[in-house]
Chains A and B, each alone.
Chain A
Amino acid sequence: MSENKTVRFIITRQDRPDSAPYEEEFVIPYRPNMNVISALMEIRRNPVNAKGEKTTPVAWEMNCLEEVCGACSMVINGKPRQACAALIDKLEQPIRLEPMRTFPVIRDLVIDRSRMFDALKRVKAWIPIDGTYDLGPGPRMPERKRQWAYELSKCMTCGVCLEACPNVNSKSNFIGPAPLSQVRLFNAHPTGAMHKAERLRAIMGDGGLANCGNSQNCVQSCPKGIPLTTSIAALNRDTTIQMFRDFFGSDEV
């Protein structure tokens, strides 16, 4: 019987970055243990829509296929998530696929997440270790803190938290939760802490931390379970102190 079972998709498509989106339906043969990516591969293999017309294959992005790269993020049945981790057996049909419209759509389900990588540059989400001479090994992190930091380091810049945030949209320039949490990660590192004030000042700029309105959708949506709202509240505390330091001066160098 299983060879007669099918999976129904309604996919929001878009041919060019500036063209209008439209919906197209697909019915593909069911196979056990399918996920959204393998279904999209099936459509690519045989690009025929539900009306039996030949069409262009649906474009999407992918890389790791194990929910660690974030490239395959899309809105599946109304929720932004990774297509490679979305099992067909667990989805209600027809399965609706849409691009994450918070980002510029390049084609079909492919979006441009450049703003997230620009944000990481803006907040200096790295630890400067290069010098003109060998700086030697850095200080060690206590194991407990390392485990804590590991959780924050799981961010794969997938963009789901920006898609879920009501304050990240075309009317605002909010940088979004992910790069903010990275500031907390790098500020917690013993070597990274040397540039703590610089990172805090970066997120005190326009479109930064203060734009958070505490809807807390991000922490509910993050596929990696990153405590984004705890990071944001902790940064609110850090920037409160930084604000007073910058205004009144500080005895700390």
Chain B
Amino acid sequence: MAGNREFYYRRLHSLLGVIPVGVFLVQHLVVNHFATRGPEAFNRAAAFMENLPFRYFLEIFVIFLPLLFHAVYGIYIAFTAKFNTSQYGYFRNWMFMLQRITGIITLIFVVWHVYETRVQAAFGAEVNYEMMANIVNNPFMLWFYIIGILSTVFHFANGLWSFCVSWGLTVTPRSQQVFTYITMLIFVALSIVGIRAILAFA
């Protein structure tokens, strides 16, 4: 009975990208944005998140496992595509390619980011304003973070668009067109939130 699971895996992959991983991403960016109000505001917001009840449960079931599934299956999906934007330079085909490329960039970024923060925290480091400020003190790391944030936010925003097609929410060309505008606005808005936050540490 190994066969005929693909439909359900794909739907699960699609769902997890938005709920909970996408929801977590938005929440994470908003909390980080407290850094624009100074180190104390950020430390208070971060401490609030750290002291949420059932922290390990939430981390494992709301973030780690869904992201792990989405990422592993995402790599498989990305590598089964054969990009052809040079022959078919249509807008959606570019988005198709960017969705897969930003997925891979996001994976590299997230693995490094989690290693530098959450894994270090498990070894006793304190995650606070100072930790991030030390990281992005290095211009290379600042750029790494800016690219990582833009890539993740694009992947999420454009992913919302394909999520709506994958579940049959946007069916007609017009609804898909309107949703393209909406998701690009989401991309711009979340990019501003994310970039403002990281620059607040620099």
Taken residue by residue from 1 to 38, chain B's Cβ proximity to chain A (1 for < 8 Å, 0 otherwise) reads as 00111111111000000000000000000000000000
Stretch at the interface among B113-121, B139-147, B168-176, B182-190: B168-176
Q: Say which residue of B7, B96, B97, B165 sits within 8 Å of A205 (CB atoms).
A: B7
Q: Which residues of A contact B90 (CB under 8 A)?
A: 215-217, 220
Assuming the A-B contacts A166-B93, A233-B170, A237-B167, are A206 and B4 also in contact, with contact meaning beta carbons closer than 8 angstroms in the complex? yes
Q: Say which residue of B77, B93, B168, B172 sits within 8 Å of A240 (CB atoms).
A: B168
Contacting B at CB under 8 A, from A209-240, are: 209-211, 213-217, 220-221, 227, 229-230, 232-240
Q: Is B83 an interface residue (CB 8 A)?
A: yes
CB-nearest residue of chain A to B173: A230
CB-nearest residue of chain A to B169: A237
Q: Is B82 an interface residue (CB 8 A)?
A: yes
Contacting B at CB under 8 A, from A80-126, are: none
Q: How far is the CA of A79 from the CA of B169 in the complex (A)?
A: 32
Does the CB pair B80–A171 fall under 8 Å? yes
Assuming the A-B contacts A166-B83, A167-B80, A213-B81, are A233 and B171 also in contact, with contact meaning beta carbons closer than 8 angstroms in the complex? yes
Listed in ascending order, the chain A residues whose CB lies under 8 Å from chain B are 78-79, 164, 166-167, 169, 171-172, 204-211, 213-217, 220-221, 227, 229-230, 232-240, 243
Listed in ascending order, the chain B residues whose CB lies under 8 Å from chain A are 3-11, 77, 79-84, 87-88, 90, 92-93, 95-97, 99, 162, 165-173, 176
Q: Which 4 A-B pairs have the closest CB atoms?
A: A237-B168, A210-B10, A215-B96, A236-B168
